[in-house]
Amino acid sequence: MGRCHRPRVAGDGVFYACRVSKPSLSKSTPTTVRVAGAMVSLEGAVAVGVAVVLVARGLLGHDQNVTSGYGTAAWFAILGGAVLAAGLALIFGRRWGRAIAIVAQLLLLPVAWSLLTDSHQTLFGVLLAVVVFAALGCLFSSPTSRWLAAEYGEDPETGEPSDR
């Protein structure tokens, strides 16, 4: 991905000046990755929004005897922020966001099931399930897999080294 040039001596060691090329968003990132990133970002934004609402409820004096609104808000803010960051990473073509996005989708599957069966929140359960399955479909699609394999320098279809 990057190229290292002649060594440079600095202080007590030898360092190589490397130039890392960053992929262009429009050329190298497949649409499936950006769509998955948008869906994952939406999930993260909803979680952060829930955290804001819980803090506002706590500040307005709602009863905190059964559950801690502040603790729950912190949980939603931390996890939602991580999911939001992963979604934005995918939108901007960063491969590290995919792992977090997949874990988040797999953890949301039982939540969707619970909304459909135990909570009798059919509309929210169906909406969440559709988003989760669509995101997983995009994250495991062929263009996404080829995009990920390009990082390792092989063409996934032929197994030969790519021209990168």
Per-residue confidence (pLDDT) for residue 58, from 0 to 100: 87
Task: Please count the structural domains in the chain.
Answer: 1
Polymer length of the chain: 164
Q: Is residue 14 part of a domain?
A: no
- Token representation of residue 56: 């506002």
pLDDT of residue 1: 47
> Is residue 114 included in any domain, yes or no?
yes
Tell me the residue range of the domain where 75 lies: 26-140
Containing 123, the helix (H) or strand (E) segment is helix 122-139
**Does 20 reside within a domain?**
no
Of 63, 69, 39, 38, residue with least CA distance to 51: 69
**pLDDT in the model for residue 67:** 74
In a domain, 150, yes or no: no
pLDDT < 70: residue spans in the chain: 1-27, 154-164
In the block, residue with structure tokens 């997983």: 136
Residue 16: phi and psi, rounded to 5, are -105, 130
Dihedral sign from CA coordinates of 148, 150, 155, 161: negative
> What is the structure's pLDDT at 150?
84
Note the pLDDT of residue 24. 46
Flag whether 153 is in a domain: no
In a domain, 145, yes or no: no
Residue 94 lies in a domain: yes
User: How many Cβ atoms sit within 10 Å of the Cβ of residue 40?
Assistant: 31
Domain assignment present for 78: yes
